[in-house]
Structure 1
């Protein structure tokens, strides 16, 4: 996979530009807690950035699908760098809480969605036909004839969301696992780096480093235009489109953009990833409070790095295994084990057993995340995949923001152990939703496509 032409040109700068997701929350928590003395206040400010990211990330992904990644990324990283600098200055100046909230909104909204963009680039590099907007031929173009019916039925059996009969690259699943490993490696490096800078150099050192890495890496990543997916702009067809579809008028041949959130499976996956975000947020704040309680704040980065290392190791294993079972079954199984593992986090009172449990929880997260991202390939057409990936990334950010706030309040009131109950609650609720709505995680084209007869020009999916 790594021998794919052009891969390293976007992987290396992309790694630097992904640091906000790993460093921003913990950097805000450490800085604001230092200036205010409250984990609840620090968690609230961090939560504002997470909610802003969750709300704006899908819009960023949608624009990247339509306009191109560079057009969205360049202004985004510049706004992010300026916003983080403003937030840092306000925190150090003991500004009122409303001012910190006001600066946290653009800081979160402008977090560059480099992870989803890299995933979209892998799809383009490994499966170029799925990313080429000009190569798709609707299965309904020949409906009304026996040949059209056969084509529609054959296309439905390929598992291809764009309706083309072809074989998908087996390296796509490997790329999904590799991206999960890369994400988790940033969670190994990012929190440790941010904590070390905040505790050893300056309380604002983590945020300053995050802003510098984001701007530098983001601009270098945006410069790699050869590997970015082609834009999927809304197009108006000509005579051919009118003749094929039989439609006339001003809207003939117009291709309406597909929203990723209109796919039921994406909505279920968003809930699943909300639960995963609750684990990230709950662990960050609760581990920080725990190390403060025992008088060893420097252990925070090491404990969180152990948790992230488990996630990374599990991602490596998932990428090396040729899975035969269904992705939906793997997702539900991995998520059930994750919810079970989080139920023990509140109990340990010493660093060593807590590190072991954190490692176990990390080992359980990667299979669920990787399978969720893999399901996007079969649920969503190429024209909306970056948006779909950003919905999932935004769901993680929203779950993280909610968990940071809840864990901070619980840690302030009842102690660090109470904060560890938030990951359990988040994963348990998300698991219940996923099990109840598991039927929506099957592609809509998994059934038989029936066409034929005059005046029936649109394929109908029959379960």
Structure 2
């Protein structure tokens, strides 16, 4: 039985939540929610700034989108590989024990990457700094979702919480790329990464200090019981592939929009175009969270993902800025339902002792898909022009959709406790 740290109030909170109609007002009235939401928002903001900051800095110092994509991809791959391990350690030893050293390592690695890039160091040196920078990205989003799971504990508000967190994530993707692009183009090419490192350090330390709302570490709550990895749940593996496809959209759009705006001589509108794409995602997330759904999350996913693939299918053929912005908005509108339903399914698929790890597998899958897409899009943009990079989101979502349709029965909500 999963209980929060405040065992004396958990029952009354759960009863209140279950009796209330699911909605943002009821969700935000959850006791102590704001104590982790505010620092969590600050700490996750850098995630949206990291890739675009690396792309803009490395492209400026090397003149190559391919090199910029490779360095950003190394960051994403290392994050994807280490994020689940970070989640597993957070489940076992506590979130603060993982965050404190993580933010310090991340800040130092970003400082090294900036110094090497400005010194025109060779590509291998940039990659050597990019790996620890990605591996140490604090997994604040999954940690916040785990805290919601503890506070709500099976309440109907869990779907609303998943939507709220997706909206929060997408709001960071509205603000982050615009902020990073503005800093890099108007202040200094490294200014975006400097701001990213500062926000990671300050926000991460403040979030780690909120211990009262953190899940009880499994080594203290489980009496030494050994728990299976979240990846042993078949549904989590299917969702990871689905999220890889979503990551391909993020990575492909970032690099391709950067190359497109450079090609037309308007680099300053890159952040605006990407922000429009992310705004669509955020708006769709707000709507999804406000609806009291009667359709199961599995069915919603099977409707939303084909629409996402269809929306990505014409990006490569568009050459007008207004039309590209409109299509980017449409793609964003189609992403949020898939993200929200995926995160909602985790709460019913995975036992409490492995939930943070499960969320980080999905977050890591997005990062891995984003990294691979950034690499391929950069190579395509260098060789065939900016528009060729937009083929990557289409290919990534199409492959993930085929997997989802084939393995959809594995998204059973029968919880497996390992």
Q: Deviations over 1:166-218 (max 9, x none)?
A: xx311111000000000000000000000000000000000000000000000
Confirm whether residue 100 of structure 1 aligns to residue 70 of structure 2.
Answer: no
**Which residues in structure 2 correspond to 1:273-312 (within 5 Å)?**
273-312=243-282
Say yes or no: does 1:215 pair with 2:185.
no
Which residue is 1:5 aligned to? Answer: 31
SS in 2 for 1:225: coil
Write the mapping of 1:204-353 to structure 2, written as runs, cut at 5 A: 204-233=190-219, 255-353=225-323
Partner of 2:147: 121
Between the aligned partners of 1:117 and 1:231, the Cα distance in structure 2 is 12
Query: How many Å separate the matches in 2 of 1:190 and 1:106?
Result: 21
Among residues 356, 381, 387, which one is paired with 2:351 in the alignment?
381
**Matches of 2:415 and 2:50, distance apart in 1:** 40
C-alpha distance in 1, partners of 2:278/2:244? 17
- Quote the residue 1:452 is aligned against: none
Report if aligned partners of 2:66, 2:379 keep a CA contact under 8 Å in 1: yes
Shift, 1:280, TM fit = 0.1
5 Å-filtered alignment, 1:139-150, equals: none
- Determine if the alignment matches structure 1 residue 369 to structure 2 residue 310: no
| Aligned-residue offset at 1:347 | 1.4
User: Aligned-pair distance for 1:235?
Assistant: 7.5
Q: In the aligned structure 2, how far is the partner of 1:236 from the partner of 1:61?
A: 17
Q: What is the CA-CA distance between 1:257 and the residue it aligns to?
A: 1.4
C-alpha change, 1:445 and 1:220, in structure 2 (3 Å) is closer
1:415–1:444 CA distance, 2 compared to 1 (3 A): same
Q: Please point out which of 87, 93, 112 is paired with 1:67.
A: 93
The answer as to whether partners of 2:311 and 2:330 remain within 8 angstroms in 1 is yes
- Check the 8 A contact 1:234/1:255 in 2, yes or no: no
Question: Is the Cα contact below 8 Å between 1:80 and 1:110 reproduced in 2?
Answer: yes
Change (3 A) 1:346 1:215: same
1:432 lines up with 2:402 in the alignment: yes
Q: Judge conservation of contact 1:83–1:103 (CA < 8 Å) in 2.
A: yes
Which has the larger Rg? 1
Confirm or deny: 8 A CA contact 1:84 1:207 kept in the other structure: yes
Secondary structure at the counterpart of residue 202 of structure 1: coil
Distance 1:445 1:107, change over 3 A: closer
- Cα deviation for residue 236 of structure 1 reads 8.1
How far does residue 326 in structure 1 lie from its aligned partner after superposition?
1.4
Change (3 A) 1:236 1:288: closer
Q: Is the 8 A contact 2:145 2:162 kept in 1?
A: yes
Deviates more, 1:325-334 or 1:308-317: 325-334
String of CA shifts for 1:243-282, please: whole Å, max 9, x gaps. Answer: xxxxxxxxxxx62212100000000000000000000000
Gaps of 5+ in 2: 1-26
Which residue pairs with 1:78 in the alignment?
104
Contact 2:103 2:138 in 1 (8 A): yes
| TM-score, length of structure 2 as denominator length | 0.92
Secondary structure in structure 1 of the residue aligned to 2:409: helix
Higher fraction of helix: 2
Q: Tell me the CA shift for residue 444 of structure 1.
A: 3.6
With the length of structure 1 as denominator, give the TM-score of the two structures.
0.83
Report the CA distance between 1:234 and its aligned residue. Answer: 7.5
- Displaced runs of 4 or more, over 6 A: 234-237
Asked if 1:182 corresponds to 2:208, the answer is no
For 1:109 and 1:236, locate their aligned partners in 2 and report how far apart those are by CA, in whole Å: 28
Number of residues paired by the alignment? 391
Aligned to 2:326: 356
- Residue number in structure 1 paired with 2:21: none
Separation in 2, partners of 1:234, 1:124? 15
CA shift at 1:75, angstroms?
0.5
Q: Partners in 1 of 2:250 and 2:170 — Cα distance?
A: 11
Is the contact made by 2:146 and 2:355 (CA closer than 8 Å) also made in structure 1?
yes
SS at match of 1:298: helix
Provide Cα deviations, 1:328-379, integer angstroms capped at 9, x if missing partner: 1110110000000000111111110000000000000000000000000111
Unmatched 5+ stretches in structure 1: 128-167, 238-253, 447-458
Alignment of 1:195 onto 2:165: no
